[in-house]
Structure 1
Amino acid sequence: MRWLVRGDWDGFFGLALDNLVQLLLIVSLCQFVLGFSPELIYGRILPGAAISLIVGNFFYGWQARRLAQQTGRTDVCALPYGINTVSLLAHVFLVMLPAKSVAQNLGMDPAQQATFAWQMGLVATFGCGFVELIGVLFADAIRRATPRAALLSTLAGIAVGFIAMTFFFRSFARPIVGIPTLGIILLTYLGGRRFKFGLPGGLVAITVGTALAWITGLATTDQFPQTLPTLVLPSFAGAEFWSALQSEHWSMFLSVILPMGLFNLVGSLQNIESAEAAGDRYPTRPSLAVNGIGSIAACLFGSTFPTTIYIGHPAWKAMGARAGYSILNGVFCTIVCLTGVIAHIAAIIPIDAGMAIIVYIGVIITTQAFQATPIRHAPAVVLGLLPGIAAWGTLMIKNGLRAAGIGTPERPFQQVESLLPTFQGQFDLYVDGAFALNEGFIFTSMIWAALTVALIERQFRIAAIWCLIAAALSAIGFIHSYTYTPGDTAMALFAPASPWALAYAVTAALLFATPYLTQPNPPQPPKDES
């Protein structure tokens, strides 16, 4: 099999566009949500991302070539690889943005806040990569023990709130750009239509969105860089990473880091299986290991965003892509990240032009949670969605309180505790329940979806075991345990959430005793379908 064939160019344009959207999203969120400086974004984060992207893309291209040589085939397609959208958004909204609030509460100035948030992002990226790397030893066992509904519904909960709803709001705040581009995405990706001349729907949406943004004045030349692109080589960030580990604050993000690493691990495993179903059987352990190594390399060179094996191998293979499209993608992403040209692209293409794609990603992730699980497990998927939606709603509540002036040195966030009776009595809003759900919500989502699947399958002891896991996590403060800080609520790690631990333990006892306390419902007579 040759290194480069005609189909590789088609695959390259599709995969490169996907990665370009991720890079534009990184620039926009880091700049406008986290307040990072251009020096931090273009001098540390993007060069670090280039290292991870070139490591993975070159390996998977070489791996495809090697498989072709071993099998004597010429139709082997490399595993697609890039920055994980879900992890990207989770690291921004669930790690770095809360870390910035912690830094603000500690009295740091804006530059120090950005540095602190960046360092916490490095820890999260390393943690995800480490979980992926050691996870090759027990990935299959985790997958067997955890129902698919538990994994997919947890992702879907994040997708509904932090991905889809956030940008859905923005789409309707910018309707002239947001609604037509969303219509184009739905037309091409769901409506079964394609534009003439083979133009991808995503490219058309971004082009139309960019044009509308400039015509309406939403995009201006104010954001355009004043300097030409220059080469910025990656620099080692080991000292900054080690400094972050010396902080006592990184452990508060373990409830995000561990499950996100697990999701990336299992998701990559599923994508390897998808490739095997399409005819390309890759060895599991080296494929997963390099995935983890890519994320660790990203951290050590300054990127706060892990990488993953992408979904969609069968589509790229059907397009004619082989090994070369992966190599081309690695080269393209490296050039874009190291030269700073992404700053010029971001100035020309505002994030509003691509937000319809992000909404669609959120919709598809949520849809997959229902489609890829047995229909009888649908209640478990719905229940697994709720903690993620609750976490997003909690963020909205906190932002509303901050907009009202709570969370400042003059009015610290501890004042919210005195407002709880008002929230409950006048608005029937149990804010303390939202705060409890918010801490460790990813674990909570997995547990409730998994125990619901067990109940649906009449596996009462397994359901009880999931309750005991929840009780243990509550007892060590991984879920439901929180404390008030001057500007927020924070996980109270290793501080027992005693009421929740007791409640889970009682429920576990009930489930263990279910065979002795209950009996099956009598069979229902068949319905008259006439």
Structure 2
Amino acid sequence: MTDRVKIPLFKKADLDASIGVFFDGFSKVIVAVAILLGTFGLDGGTVFGTMMPGVLVSVIVMNGGLWLYYRQVAKSRGDRNLTAVPAGLQAGRMFIWLFSIMLPVYNTTGDAVLAFRVGVLAHFIGGAVFIIGAFVVPLILKIVPAGALFGSLAGGAMAFLILQSMDGTLKMPLVGWLSLIVLFVIYLGKVNTKLPAALIAIVVGAGIAWATGAMSFSTVTDSLQNLGFYIPNFTFSIFSGEVLSAVIPFLPIVIVFSLNEVITGIQAVEQARECGDTFFTTTKPLVLCGVASMVGALFGSPLAVGLYWGYPGWKKMGSGTGYHLGIVALYALVGLTGLSAIITAFIPEAVVLPILVFVGISSYSQAFEVVSKKYYPAVIMASLPVVMDFMMDNVAEGKLQGFLAFDPGSAFVGLLVGCVFVFIIDNNWLKAAITNVVALALTGIGMIHSPGLLLTDTYSPDLGFVAVYCVLIAAFLIMHFLKFNQKSHLADLEAEKAASLEAAKQE
């Protein structure tokens, strides 16, 4: 009987899901491309001619495989409206590979191609670990205390995502800091948007960069040279002795973070179960993601893939199984043509780095969300070794120059930044504006963002932050007078109050 039910190949709601999941993943591709071209100085032929077709291969294996898998589940259950669990490029492993594996290799050797190949091999090994993890992670969680496991991961997030990315963000505050504020307003302010927050932040930041003359059309002109048709090619060079020996010291990072992403994948399926779809399994989809990583690496992709959170939203929208096919089609468009080169030419690196900062903050916060409060000290202690190692390596070599922006008056800066983000979370736009007025005044007298006070020889305020505070004052005042997002915020507060009362009754 169930075999006679016709499962739609693609329906209207699948189009929205295809675009949404694609841009969620492609925003990460934009970040990776900007870093590989900017920080590493990797050539466009490797990025757009090797990596992007390799990314497409990963997407074909994973999203195409998930389409077949969930379509079969829908047929066996006779459910033509079944929603598939989303999947795409994973931010966590992608950026850990970039900053904690590839960047150290590049800094040590000065060889961008070697660093890239090491990242690709790490992706291949990570895929194998991912497959094994699909079976053994539940056992590991019984042996290793959660506080120790997530504390170590939090340390990596703090060092390689938050601190490393903040350095670049602060070097162009008018672009980077404003992009970071946009992300926080959307995510922490709980603003409902049809487009991914990362994409919005990129568009806003890029717009500011072009308006202020930070970008040049010569970059766009140069990107046209990368247009063409690229066929995926095997990259057996990742198995050379030089690459193998270079990746060995990073195996602990590969193993730990791959296993962590397995946990994330399990949680993604749990979201579906919480929606009442208790029949979903974890092993097959996770193994498929691991296989996709390994195959993609063989074709030159260092960008990890896996299951996504967000199932409840796509189910509510009415998406089915066909949106995985739509994702493949969209990646084929940018992966085979070099079109991604033109897209990324419009976007400076300082625009995409705030996304890594936010990903790192989310990852760091997660370590405290999954353990009891009594284990917080263990989480903090477990995170310190990685952070300390990162600081010693970078400070000793005179790097992290962007941090100098927060050096003068750091205590004041910390207090002001904390206030701004508290007010963003509370949707209190007027107080956020007032806080930026205070920050502007302190900058004016040289208490922050200046090596010396007003009327002294060393007085030299950072004009980038002067501009930032002026823009934020105006923006937050406009949001206050427009009562931006107030209805949604009040609804959230009422829902939280009702949940608290319900919890109190049950106790």
TM-score surpassing 0.5? yes
**Residue aligning to 2:302:** 304
Per the TM alignment, residue 81 of structure 1 is displaced from its structure 2 partner at its CA by 1.7
**Could you tell me how far apart the structure 2 residues matched to 1:294 and 1:344 are?**
27
**Residue aligning to 1:491:** none
Deviates more, 1:131-140 or 1:85-94: 131-140
Per the TM alignment, residue 343 of structure 1 is displaced from its structure 2 partner at its CA by 0.5
Per the TM alignment, residue 91 of structure 1 is displaced from its structure 2 partner at its CA by 1.3
* RMSD, aligned CA: 2.4
**Could you tell me how far apart the structure 2 residues matched to 1:117 and 1:166 are?**
17
**Residue aligning to 1:63:** 69
**Residue aligning to 2:360:** 362
Per the TM alignment, residue 402 of structure 1 is displaced from its structure 2 partner at its CA by 11
Per the TM alignment, residue 272 of structure 1 is displaced from its structure 2 partner at its CA by 2.4
Per-residue displacement from partner, 1:418-458 (whole Å, max 9, x unpaired)? Answer: xxxxxxxxxxxxxxxxxxxxxxxxxxxxxxxxxxxxxxxxx
* 1:3-22 alignment runs, 5 A limit: 3-22=9-28
Counterpart among 201, 210, 214 of residue 214 in structure 1: 210
Tell me the matched-pair count. 392
- CA separation of 1:369/1:79 partners in 2, compared to 1, >3 Å: closer, same or farther? same
- CA separation of 1:203/1:264 partners in 2, compared to 1, >3 Å: closer, same or farther? closer
Counterpart among 8, 12, 22 of residue 2 in structure 1: 8
* 1:339-418 alignment runs, 5 A limit: 339-400=337-398
Contact 1:51 1:334 in 2 (8 A): no
SS across alignment from 2:225: coil
**Could you tell me how far apart the structure 2 residues matched to 1:13 and 1:204 are?**
14
**Could you tell me how far apart the structure 2 residues matched to 1:202 and 1:133 are?**
29
Which residue identity is paired with 1:230? G
Per the TM alignment, residue 397 of structure 1 is displaced from its structure 2 partner at its CA by 2.2
Per-residue displacement from partner, 1:2-53 (whole Å, max 9, x unpaired)? Answer: 2323322222222111111111112111112222111111121111111001
Deviates more, 1:303-312 or 1:213-222: 303-312
Counterpart among 268, 273, 276 of residue 271 in structure 1: 268
- CA separation of 1:221/1:247 partners in 2, compared to 1, >3 Å: closer, same or farther? same
- CA separation of 1:20/1:72 partners in 2, compared to 1, >3 Å: closer, same or farther? same
Contact 1:336 1:342 in 2 (8 A): yes
Contact 1:11 1:320 in 2 (8 A): no
- 1:145 corresponds to 2:151: no
Per the TM alignment, residue 66 of structure 1 is displaced from its structure 2 partner at its CA by 1.7
**Could you tell me how far apart the structure 2 residues matched to 1:218 and 1:395 are?**
30
SS across alignment from 1:227: helix
**Residue aligning to 2:36:** 30
**Could you tell me how far apart the structure 1 residues matched to 2:196 and 2:287 are?**
32
Per the TM alignment, residue 398 of structure 1 is displaced from its structure 2 partner at its CA by 4.1
Per the TM alignment, residue 228 of structure 1 is displaced from its structure 2 partner at its CA by 6.2
* 1:13-412 alignment runs, 5 A limit: 13-104=19-110, 113-194=111-192, 198=194, 200-224=196-220, 225-227=223-225, 229-238=227-236, 240-244=237-241, 247-280=244-277, 281-400=279-398
Contact 1:24 1:351 in 2 (8 A): no
Which residue identity is paired with 1:87? R
Q: Percent identity?
A: 28
- CA separation of 1:247/1:14 partners in 2, compared to 1, >3 Å: closer, same or farther? closer
Per the TM alignment, residue 199 of structure 1 is displaced from its structure 2 partner at its CA by 5.1
**Could you tell me how far apart the structure 1 residues matched to 2:156 and 2:262 are?**
17
Per-residue displacement from partner, 1:108-167 (whole Å, max 9, x unpaired)? Answer: xxxxx2232222222211110111123333232112223333333333222222212333
* 1:485-504 alignment runs, 5 A limit: none
Per the TM alignment, residue 235 of structure 1 is displaced from its structure 2 partner at its CA by 0.4
Per-residue displacement from partner, 1:383-427 (whole Å, max 9, x unpaired)? Answer: 222123223313322431899xxxxxxxxxxxxxxxxxxxxxxxx
Taking structure 2 as the reference length, the TM-score comes to 0.72
Per-residue displacement from partner, 1:341-376 (whole Å, max 9, x unpaired)? Answer: 110000112333333333222222222221222222
Taking structure 1 as the reference length, the TM-score comes to 0.69
Contact 1:194 1:200 in 2 (8 A): no
Which residue identity is paired with 1:254? L
Deviates more, 1:20-29 or 1:305-314: 305-314
- CA separation of 1:371/1:114 partners in 2, compared to 1, >3 Å: closer, same or farther? same
- CA separation of 1:92/1:21 partners in 2, compared to 1, >3 Å: closer, same or farther? same
Deviates more, 1:341-350 or 1:136-145: 136-145
Which residue identity is paired with 1:267? T
Which residue identity is paired with 1:45? M
**Could you tell me how far apart the structure 1 residues matched to 2:81 and 2:375 are?**
37
Deviates more, 1:282-291 or 1:143-152: 143-152
- CA separation of 1:178/1:103 partners in 2, compared to 1, >3 Å: closer, same or farther? closer
- CA separation of 1:249/1:170 partners in 2, compared to 1, >3 Å: closer, same or farther? closer
Contact 1:89 1:163 in 2 (8 A): yes
Which residue identity is paired with 1:284? T
Deviates more, 1:157-166 or 1:143-152: 143-152
Whose RCO is larger (CA < 8 A, sep 6+)? 2
**Could you tell me how far apart the structure 2 residues matched to 1:249 and 1:180 are?**
38
Contact 2:90 2:306 in 1 (8 A): yes
Per the TM alignment, residue 69 of structure 1 is displaced from its structure 2 partner at its CA by 1.6
- CA separation of 1:208/1:44 partners in 2, compared to 1, >3 Å: closer, same or farther? same
Contact 1:167 1:355 in 2 (8 A): yes
Per-residue displacement from partner, 1:218-255 (whole Å, max 9, x unpaired)? Answer: 221132214262110100112x1221477533322222
Per the TM alignment, residue 299 of structure 1 is displaced from its structure 2 partner at its CA by 1.3
Q: Which runs of 5+ in 1 are unaligned?
A: 105-112, 404-530
SS across alignment from 1:283: coil
Contact 2:70 2:321 in 1 (8 A): yes
**Residue aligning to 1:495:** none
Contact 2:27 2:198 in 1 (8 A): no
Contact 1:47 1:301 in 2 (8 A): yes
